[in-house]
Amino acid sequence: MIRPHGSDELNPLFVYDTAENEALQKEAEGLASIVVSSAAAANAVMLGGGYFNPLTGYMNKADAISVAESMKTTSGLFWPTPVLNLLDDAGSIKAGDRIALKDPNVEGNPVVAVMDVEAVETLTADEKKLIADKVYAASPDEAHPGVDAFNAQGNVILSGPIKVLNFSYFQTEFPDTFRTAVEIRNEIAERGWKKIVAFQTRNPMHLAHEELCHMAMERLGCDGLVIHMLLGKLKAGDIPAPVRDAAIRKMVELYFPENSAMVTGYGFDMLYAGPREAVLHAVFRQNMGATHFIIGRDHAGVGDHYGAFDAQTIFDDQVPAGALDIEIFRADHTAYSKKLDKVVMMCEAPDHSKEDFVLLSGTKVRELLGNGIAPPKEFSRPEVAQILMDYYRSIS
């Protein structure tokens, strides 16, 4: 199986030993504690599950700035985005303290991790702007949900190693879908897959997405597909995870051969960082055991903030050779061709005009679904459309 990023073995930070986990939870009751941001809690979940291998905890200021500027930590580890625990105020917490990190997303704020604080540092306004500029390609006069979420987290950095005690709400709310990188690697081995392609989604999968996955599997000669959906916080208007989950599972059940596709999810908040987030996605797909990763048009983008294929060209322009072992499958926009009577990549149909494709905007699709009208069969499987129509009717 493919090596994890940065080490020979996967090193998840979740405390799997029951006795040690219980002892840490008891210890945490007597420790100073802070309620972390949703982003920091999601980082803990990803560290706990092995997705952020080989990191051992939250980055300090020097590493965060180095990663923003050069996609490398100060020790030279390739890494595309800072992994931070940002606060408005650290209070009396100081370097050398052992503290409990409390979950903002679960009632009662249970302890999600225990942290050994190595440094307490403050980002200046210029340093915070530098990180936003580099990671999000932020423009000061343009709204960006990722930058807004980053700026809302405060300027104080707590850095140091952590031990993760639970997986927040992801394991309880999505027991059939949430999987750690460890669990996905184990299931890949059990299924006997050798060549695996991963597909990232934060939306339901329409016919074009489904056919893109079939296309990638066929062209790469893959044994299996891991559909890996984001289960964390999204922007307003995005379809909730349980609805996406149900729609994707129905599609796989009806339109994929047995033992060819695995439906899973991971606990992380969307960054909307476009190209940088595409590289981060590749890192944790390698950590979960995928050999290939599909990156399509405007991967992890928001609005028209990034160029259509910036998330692909970053692997040519900014990711050093050998930095990652996982290979990228580059996809163009896929759509149903009326001429060919099938879904194609638009770049592979040079004799087509726009009118030769079935193209619907997200706004139009939501309007149809909200009115109880299924999109055309060339756009969406009827069984998938029914699940989405039921959802839109429930909120109207």
**Dihedral pair phi/psi, residue 54, rounded to 5°:** -100, 25
The answer on pLDDT for 368 being more than 80 is yes
Does residue 276 carry a catalytic annotation?
A: no
Whether residue 274 is found in the same domain as residue 155: no
* Average pLDDT value for residue range 138-152: 81
Q: 142 with 225, same domain?
A: no
149, 250: one domain: no
Q: Is the pLDDT of residue 172 over 80?
A: yes
- Region of 76 (left: φ > 0; alpha: ψ -120 to 50; beta: rest) is left
CATH of the domain at 78: 3.10.400.10
Mean pLDDT value of segment 157-170 = 97
Residues 114 and 202 in one domain: no
- Contact indicator for 122, 156 with CB cutoff of 8 Å: yes
In a domain, 13, yes or no: no
Residues 121 and 185 in one domain: no
Strands 119-122, 156-164: parallel, antiparallel or unpaired by DSSP?
Answer: antiparallel
Higher pLDDT, 283 or 306: 283
Residue 161: inside a domain: yes
- In this predicted structure, what is the pLDDT of residue 346? 93
Q: Share the mean pLDDT of the chain.
A: 94
With respect to residue 229, please indicate whether it lies within any of the assigned structural domains: yes
How sure is the predictor about 366, in pLDDT bands with cuts at 50, 70 and 90? Answer: confident
Q: Does residue 119 share a domain with residue 204?
A: no
Q: Is the pLDDT of residue 395 over 90?
A: no
Task: Provide the number of structural domains found in the chain.
Answer: 2
Within a domain: 2 = no
**What percentage of the chain reaches a pLDDT higher than 90?**
85
Note if 244 is an active site residue: no
Residues 329 and 185 in one domain: yes
Q: Which CATH number covers residue 353?
A: 3.40.50.620
Tell me phi and psi for residue 177, to 5 degrees.
Answer: -120, -45
List Cα–Cα distances, 262 to 198, 211, 284, 395, in angstroms: 10, 16, 16, 29
Please say if the pLDDT value at position 202 is more than 90.
no
Q: Do 108 and 244 belong to one domain?
A: no
CA distance 251 to 246: 9
- The predicted pLDDT at position 203 comes to 85
For 63, 273, 342, the CA distances from 125, given in Å and listed in that order, are 17, 20, 52
Instruction: Answer yes or no: is pLDDT of 174 > 70.
Output: yes
For a pLDDT cut of 70, what percent of the chain falls above it?
98
Task: Identify whether residues 193 and 158 lie together within a single domain.
Answer: no
Domain co-membership, 116 together with 131: yes
pLDDT at 302: 83
Q: Is 9 a member of any domain?
A: no
Range of the domain at 387: 175-395
pTM, full prediction: 0.94
At 363, the pLDDT band (50, 70, 90 cuts) reads: confident
Set 3, 203, 249, 366: catalytic member: 203
Residue of 191, 202, 330, 366 marked active site: 202
- The distance between the two most distant Cα atoms of the chain, rounded to a whole number of Å, is 69
Residue 67 vs residues 24, 74, 86, 160, 232: alpha-carbon distances, Å:
31, 8, 16, 16, 23
